[in-house]
Amino acid sequence: METYQNIVLEKLPAHLRKYVVPQFYERYTPIDQALWRYVMRQNYIYLKDVAYYPYIPGLRKAGLTIERIPDLQQMNDSLKQIGWGAVTVDGFIPPAAFMEFQAHRVLVIAADIRQLEHIEYTPAPDIIHESSGHAPIIGEPEYAEYLQYFGEVGSKAMFSAKDFELYEAIRNLSILKEDPNATQEQIATGERLLEKIQQNMGEPSEMALLSRLHWWTVEYGLIGTVDDPKIYGAGLLSSIGESVTCMQPEVPKLPYTLDAVNYSYDITKPQPQLFVTPDFEHLRGVLDEFAADMSFRVGGKKSVDKAIACKNVCTAVYSSGLQVSGIFTAVGDENKLTYIKTSGPTALALRGKQLHRHSKNYHKDGFSAPVGLVTGFDRSLEDMTDADLYAAGIVVGQETVLSFDSGITVTGVLESLTRSEDKLVLLSFTKCTVRDTRTDAILFMPEWGMYDMAVGAQIVSVFSGAADKDAYEQQSDVSEISAVRHAYDESTKQLHERYARIRRMREKGNATEKLLMELFTDLQANFPGDWLSLVELLEIAANMSLTEAVRQIEDALDQIQKNQPHLVKLIQDGKRLAKDTNVSLIL
C-alpha cells in the first residue's frame, strides 16, 4: 500500500489496508478532468456564500485545486500537516471499516469519478464527493475531532446480518448506475432488490441508527441557525445540484437533536429535510447521548444478544478486562446472562492485544465460559489475590470445584492462572467438566482437552469485530462486486482528444481565433450534443474577447439545451461561469 510519506498512513493497521487500492491517476480522462473543473468552479462560486466559512480556505489546506483532479500524493502532503491522511478505495466499503478509517484520521476517497450524465449528483462514492466534500472541512479542529470520535464510536457499533445484505445491494446499485453499459433492466433489478431488503430490515441495528446520525451531520449537515444555516456536510458540498436546492425554503430545516436517529434516508434521492447544529461541539454531545446506550458502553445480556444476531465476529469484554472474540451463539439462561458461547475460531485478548497461546487457531472449535459470581465468595473471582485463592482451595495442581450462583459448576485440576495488572482473567483446567446443574446440561467434557475459563462477574462491553483485528485476521469482508473499469470506443477516444486540445489551449495560452473556430466546427460536426466541451471553448473565446466566436458557441449551446431541456441549468451555469474571471484556485 502506498503511504505517500505520510506517517498517518504508515500507522494504518493491516486489516484496513486490504480495502486500499491504487489511484491509477492516468485512468482519468480529459473529460473527467473537465468534469472536475466544471463542478469545482460551480461549487466555488456558489459555496463561497453558503458554505461554512472554513470550506473555501480548506480547499487549499487539503491540497485541492479547481483545475484538475487531485492526486493522492498532493492531498497527503497537505493533510499530513494537520494530522490526517487520505487513501483511495473501490467505491463503497463496509460501514464499520469506513468508521475505523475515520478513527485513524484517514479520509477514504473513492478512486472513480462520476459520469458526465451524473455531473450534478451520483449515489456512488466518487473522488468529487470524497475529496472536495470531506477534505476541506477537516482543517476545522472541532470538526476534525468530531469526525475522528465518530469513527471511534462507529467502529464499535453492532450491526446485523441484514446490514451487510443492504450494504451489498447499495454498492451493487451504485456501481450499476455509474456503468455506461448497464441496461435499464439491470438497474431496475438492482432497485427492486434494494427495496426488498430495505422493507425487511427488521429492528434497526446500532450501526443502522448510527449511520443516520452520520448522514444528517457528516454528509448532509448544516450549521448555524434554522433561519440562516451554512453548509458543512460533504454530500451537499460536493453536489452542485443539491447544494442549491437544499437551501430553498421548501426543504425544512430542523434543529439537530438525537431525534434525527428516527429519520431514515435514501441515498438515491434529494433529502426531504435537513438538520442544523449550532456548532460542532453540539454534534459531539448528541453522539455521546446516543453512544451511552450502545453495547460497547453497557454490556450485559442485551448486548450479547445483539452479537448473536450479528452472526459475525464480535467481542465480549469481561469485567476482568478479558476480551473474547468470535461468533457468539448462546448466553445460557434465556432471561439472564449465565455464560457465553462461541462457535468456530475464537481468540482471547487484553486491551486489544491477543493473549499468547490463545489465538483463533488454538480455540478453533469455539469457546465457552461462565459469567457471574461464585457461590460463597465475599468478592468476585477476578478480584481475589493469590492468598484469597489459596484460602478458598483454588490451588495450581489440585482439583478445584467452582459453583456459580447461576447453577453452573466447574470441576477440574487447575493447571495455571493468568493475571493482568490486579485482575485474575483466566483459569486453565485439565480433566474438567462444566455442568449446568439446573438443566443437567454438560457444557464441557474432560476428553475435549484443556478448559480455559474466562473470569469475570459481568460482561461490561460488547462490540463489533475482533479485539485484535490484525492478529485475528478476520475473514475478508471486501466486496466481491467491483466498480466497472470503462472500455472506450473509438469515437469516445476521439472526443477525449478534443478535450485534451482544449485544455492545452487554455493552459498554454496559445489559442488563436482560427484554431478555436476550427475546433468548434469539428465538435459541431462530430460531437454536436457535447455541451461541456463547448462551455470550455466559450471560456477561452470570452477571455480572448472574440465576440463572434462567443456568439456562435452560445448559439450552439442554446440549441443543445433546446433539444435536451434537462441540460438547461448546467448549460446556463456554464455560460455564466465562462465569462467570470474571478474563479481561480490553482496551487
* Residues in binding site for Fe cation: 129, 134, 219
- Sort strands 229-231 and 423-436 into parallel, antiparallel or unpaired: unpaired
Q: Is the four-CA dihedral 385, 387, 392, 396 of positive or negative sign?
A: positive
Paired with 276 in beta bridges are 222, 255
Q: Rounded CA gap, 49 and 436, in Å?
A: 68
Contact 401, 373 (CB under 8 A): no
**SS3 label, residue 525:** helix
- By DSSP bridging, strand 314-318 and strand 459-464 are antiparallel
> Hey, is 318 helix, strand or coil?
strand
Q: What is the DSSP letter of 332?
A: S
Q: Classify 429 as helix, strand or coil.
A: strand
Q: Do the Cβ atoms of 114 and 125 come closer than 8 Å?
A: no
Specify binding-site residues. Answer: 129, 134, 219
| 252, 271 Cβ separation under 8 angstroms | no
The three-state secondary structure class of 417 is strand
d(CA 54, CA 279): 13
* Residue 198: partners with Cβ closer than 8 Å, 6 or more residues away: 166
Could you give the CA distance from residue 426 to residue 350 in angstroms, rounded to a whole number?
Answer: 11
- Helices marked H in 155-250 — which ranges? 161-177, 184-199, 206-214, 234-237, 242-245
**Amino acid (one-letter) located at 388:** D
* 130 C-beta neighbours (distance < 10 Å), count: 20
Exposure string of 325-335, with b = 16+ CB inside 10 Å and e = fewer, is bbbbebbbbee
In DSSP terms, 274 is beta-bridged to: 253
The neighbour count for residue 38, using CB atoms within 10 Å, is 21
Smallest CA-to-CA distance from 216 within 203, 240, 234, 201 is with 234
C-alpha torsion sign, points 445, 448, 449, 452? negative
Rounded CA separation 72/77 (Å)? 8
